[in-house]
Amino acid sequence: MVNTRNRRGRHPAAPTPTRAPWGLGTPQGRRRREPLTEPAEVARPSGHGRWSHPLSSREQNARLDQFERSLRARFEAVIPTLREVAGLRWSEHFAAEASSLIEQRLGVEAPRELFDQAWIAPLDMRQLFGVVLGGVIRQVAQDVHRAGELIGSDLTSFFLECGYHAVDISPCSDGRLKGVIRAILRLPDEAVRSRKAYAGAMFDVEASVRRWVETELMRFREGCPVPPEAGTRYLKVAVYHWSRSDPEHEGCAAHGSDRERAAAGALRRLREFREAVENSFYCGASVDILLIGVDTDADAIRVHVPDAEGDLTLDRFVDNHDLYEATRFLDATRARLAIYEAIEAASGTASRPHEGMRRLIATLLINNLSQIDRVYETWQGRYPDVGHNETFISVGDGFEEFQLRNLAYFVYLQTVEEAGHDLDVGIEIFRRLNVRRGLPIPIAIHFRYDRRVPGSRERATERCQRVRRAIEDRYRALFEDGYVVCDMSIQDRETGSPIEAVSVHELSRGHGGGS
């Protein structure tokens, strides 16, 4: 049985929270209530310098800076290390020396068999690159999880106060949006129900409906996170992007760097998702939709403001880049008030969204001010790599641990056929990034399994093998020339579970579903 009490029109608005609006972007990173006083303007320093926005969290920025420097250093060490390996002169101890060097510099073990024939045939450096990078990916993903949560705040209760029991975010798979959850929006990982990326933010509507069904079933069966009578909603978010400095070339590749096409495509998917839920289960009011754009030059977001019925348009939005410039010299109280005024102004003649949605939008805008501030202080307001600069293509379920700009181009898939277009976009990007320099295209195939389900681990292993074969067939010429290298791994769905490497010839190990 499915809840029909929340069908569209029956409840005009979500429950109104009793607490005052707040944002995680406050210096203390906690809920706070500011008394409304006469706004004050702060003396403006000359230039940007180290001047911070009054709502920016310097503590969060410092943690993210340290995290990203450490993570990037691990990947940036791969090519210099392999160059040094290539420069070693062959001797009877070559295999041991090369293996030892890779393990000392990168912390991964390279198979000795790759070096055993180096005395009679040239060392296959492209294959070695793929094997070593795959090991670094798995090791770093494990280390990142052990490092713990960077944001350090549980937003689940806040989302419930806004009237949402689950949040599902679908960004574009472009690597510049890889940090959209942790860095751009400053949301803790556990606060988001799902975060599957698709080229151009053109998410799979049917898959999103299935995730909605699973969430609602949990509410009816277990009352988690709230029982069905709570009247809360499911929030679906799509995230598109563009480049402010080079909009015609460095925007979304899936939409020909056309910002309007990217926004319109994401909005169309959101409407299709809500209509699918409404037509299938007669409870469209149980779903809210939100459209967010990102200027990837500076990570500034543009939030499209819904009306009272939850409908969105492309021309009704708050641009946080402009809002940052307008409020960075105000005091915290006045800056926070200006954010709510901007949301009101964006509604124009349309009816305003419900209070919970307004609070949510305000929080996302405030959180994002810290990231804009960080880009200003570190890179003078614009990333040096405004275009693609990814290290690998992540295929399958992806590594949720990696929330880092331009680290990976992500293709969520179960089969190559269903996501062929998304994968083609990634391959074309890496033709420019890697193949032109003689480097292979590294593809990390990663799937999750559920140890509680009999045979789940074996099926995940088989899926890795099947996807790898399909990739080889689709890009046969690149593969035969050594320009496509695949690494495979699986992982239990339980948070923090170890990442298991899958060899090319591995078959089911007979562990059953409990391993």
Q: Token pair of 26, please?
A: 């406050």
Rounded-to-integer distance, Cα 471 and Cα 485, Å: 10
Token pair, residue 453, equals 């389900």
Which of 116, 124, 143, 174 is an active site residue? 174
Residue 78 CA to residue 391 CA, distance in Å, equals 11
* Count of Cβ atoms closer than 10 Å to residue 159 Cβ: 25
Question: 232 and 160 in contact (C-beta within 8 Å)?
Answer: yes
Looking at residue 190, its pLDDT comes to: 73
Cβ atoms of 367 and 187 closer than 8 Å: yes
* Structure token digits, residue 181: 């959850």
* pLDDT score, position 267: 98
Strands in 287-295's sheet, in edge-to-edge order, are 164-171, 233-242, 287-295, 300-304, 317-319
> Could you please report the per-residue DSSP string of 195-235?
---BGGG---HHHHHHHHHHHHHHHHHH--SS-GGG--EEE
Domain boundaries, the chain: 77-147, 154-379, 392-514
List the structure tokens of 40. Answer: 């004050």
Q: Rounded to 5 degrees, what are φ and ψ at 116?
A: -65, -30
- The span from the CA of 325 to the CA of 323, in Å, is 5
Provide CATH code, domain 392-514. Answer: 3.30.1330.140
CATH code that applies to domain 77-147: 1.20.120.1310
Integer-rounded Cα radius of gyration of the chain: 24
**Residue 99 and residue 115 in contact, taking contact as beta carbons nearer than 8 Å:** yes
- Structure token digits, residue 362: 């305000």
Report pLDDT for 418: 83
pLDDT, tens only, 271-289: 999 999 999 887 656 899 9
Q: Is 5 helix (H, G, I), strand (E, B) or coil?
A: coil
pLDDT at residue 312, as a whole number:
96
State which residues of the chain have pLDDT below 50. 1-49, 507-515
For residue 122, is the peptide bond before it cis, meaning its omega torsion is within 30 degrees of 0? no
Same fold for the pair 77-147 and 392-514? no
How many helices (DSSP H) and strands (DSSP E) are in the chain? 14, 10
Is the separation of the CB atoms in 391 and 373 below 8 Å?
no
Cα distance between residue 484 and residue 412, in whole Å = 18
Active site residue 246: no
Q: How far apart are CA 22 and CA 397, in angstroms?
A: 34
Report pTM: 0.84
